[in-house]
Structures are given as C-alpha cells and as structure tokens.
C-alpha cells in the first residue's frame, strides 16, 4: 500500500473578492472533516493533508465553486454587452449608418455564436504519480475524438479536465472518457507502488550519475516509470518491477 496519504497545497486566492477566505476555509473544513488543514497564508495558499479520495472530493468541491463564479461572470458580461448594444441602437444616425451597424453586429454575433459554442467539462482528480504512469504506459486513455483532455499538476494531485462538445453525444463521450480514466486510476492504485531513492549528495554530479544509471537500466525494466527530481528519483511500477529495478541500481 503506497498511495494512502498525500499532502497538497491549494490556492483559494481566486475566490478573494467574492468570499471571505477565512469563511471559505471553514466551509472546506465542514465539507471535509477527515482532512487536516494548515494555516491560511496571506497569498491565499493552504496546506491540506489526508487520504487521496478525501482530497479529491475537496478539490472537486472547489472546482464547482470556481465554475459557478465563471458562469456568473459570463452572464454579467453578456448583460453588459446587451446594454451596450441597446445604447448604440438608440443613438440614431442615418439609415445607411444604421444598416452598417446592423451588419457589423450580425457578423459579431455569428463569431460569438461559434466562440461561445457550449462545451461540456468533466473533471477527474488523480494522484500525480499515477497520472504520469498512465500518460507513459496508457496514453490512449487520454485520447478520444472531439475531446480535449488536459492535466494540471499541483504537487501530489493532478486535475484532469475533459472538454467535449455540448451536444448530447459529445457529453456522453466525455462521460465515457472520465469513467475510463477513473477506472484505470483505481486499478493502478491497487497494483502500483513507489520507491524513492534519495541522493547521497544532492549535487549536480550526483544527479547526473543517477540519471545515467537509470538510463542504462531502463531497457532491462520497461515496466517502471522513472521520475527524476533535484534531490531524489522516484520509481513507480508493480512491486516486482520496482524491486528488480532498485536491486539492479544498488548493484
């Protein structure tokens, strides 16, 4: 069992001006009583620790709040646009100028209708190591026709967004992609483990030596994912694959 407890630093600064951040943090604590929350920093960041499913639910809760704010901003912007158009229409000029204005407005509305084509968004929150493993060994999980699938990594957690056309068929494809990613993540979480190999001397030479060793050993162990960092190397794979790689590296 490896991926049992993770720590993530969340930024709630985006909600500043819409919510009192301290009140929002209290709401987060009530929403996720199983998580441990650190102090709220002046820049809006807060450290959260707990089980991965609990962190995932909290992340989805915040994403829904952010999405509701975005939709509210869009409604306000459209309201302002309608008001500006009405003011322009009441500034009567010549018939020719009105005709030209109507043509420009018509063209703008056509462009906006294309740009504002509704999109359906599905969100999946993954452990970052599992996300990297899936990208390396199961890349087709993140590929589908008419879908835009992207990931944003924040420490131990990566948020995957699946955008699909707003049609019924597009939404169904997006939902299928989300379920495929979730099911794959659950299966990998069950079978994968991670081994961290810390550098004895976190110097440039030591880092380069480990990098060269890993590159030499990788062909012998195609089932492991090697993630190099400044002070250590993480090896992700099945128990047998990780054990075999680390034993070869020690030798």
Cα Rg, the chain, nearest whole Å: 25
pLDDT score for 85: 58
Average confidence (pLDDT) over 212-221: 88
156 within 8 A of 7, measured Cβ to Cβ: yes
pLDDT score for 89: 55
Fold classified for 121-192: Alpha-Beta Plaits (3.30.70)
153 within 8 A of 131, measured Cβ to Cβ: yes
141 to 58, 174, 178, 227: CA distances (angstroms) = 24, 12, 9, 20
244 within 8 A of 140, measured Cβ to Cβ: no
Average confidence (pLDDT) over 47-70: 78
> In the chain, what are the domain boundaries?
6-70, 121-192, 193-250
Check residue 175 and report its DSSP letter. Answer: H
| 8 three-class SS | strand
Mean pLDDT of the chain: 78
For the four alpha carbons of 224, 227, 232 and 236, in that order, the dihedral sign comes to: negative
Instruction: Please provide the distance, in angstroms rounded to a whole number, between the alpha carbons at the two ends of the chain.
Output: 26
Identify the H or E element spanning 158.
strand 157-165
- Strand ranges inside 19-147, DSSP E: 36-37, 45-51, 119-127
Q: pLDDT tens-digit profile of 172-207?
A: 888 888 889 888 988 988 889 988 888 777 677 777
Full-model pTM: 0.57
Nearest one of 189, 226, 195, 237 to 51, comparing CA atoms: 189
pLDDT score for 32: 86
Q: Which of 24 and 92 is assigned the larger pLDDT?
A: 24
- pLDDT level of residue 102 (50, 70, 90 thresholds): low
- pLDDT level of residue 91 (50, 70, 90 thresholds): low
pLDDT score for 240: 92
- Helix-then-strand count for the chain, H and E: 7, 9
């Amino acid at each position: 069992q490896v991926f049992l407890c993770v720590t993530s630093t969340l930024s709630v600064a985006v909600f500043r001006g819409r919510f009192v951040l301290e009140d929002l943090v209290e709401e987060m604590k009530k929403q996720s009583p199983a998580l441990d929350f650190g102090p709220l920093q002046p820049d809006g960041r807060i450290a959260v620790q707990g089980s991965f499913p609990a962190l995932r639910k909290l992340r989805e809760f915040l994403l829904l709040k952010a999405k509701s704010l975005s939709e509210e901003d869009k409604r306000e912007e459209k309201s302002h646009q309608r008001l500006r158009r009405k003011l322009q229409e009441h500034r009567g000029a010549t018939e020719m100028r009105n005709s030209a204005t109507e043509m420009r407005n018509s063209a703008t509305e056509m462009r906006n209708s294309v740009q504002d084509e509704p999109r359906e968004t599905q969100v999946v929150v993954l452990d970052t190591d599992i996300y990297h493993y899936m990208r390396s060994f199961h890349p087709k999980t993140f590929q589908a026709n008419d879908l835009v699938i992207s990931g944003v990594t924040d420490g131990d957690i990566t948020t995957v967004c699946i955008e699909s056309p707003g049609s019924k068929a597009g939404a169904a494809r997006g939902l299928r992609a989300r379920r495929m990613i979730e099911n794959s993540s659950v299966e990998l979480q069950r079978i994968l483990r991670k081994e961290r190999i810390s550098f004895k001397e976190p110097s440039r030479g030591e880092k380069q030596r480990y990098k060269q060793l890993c590159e030499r050993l990788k062909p012998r162990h195609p089932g492991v994912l090697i993630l190099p960092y400044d002070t250590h190397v993480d090896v992700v794979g099945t128990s047998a694959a990780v054990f075999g790689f680390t034993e070869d590296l020690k030798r």
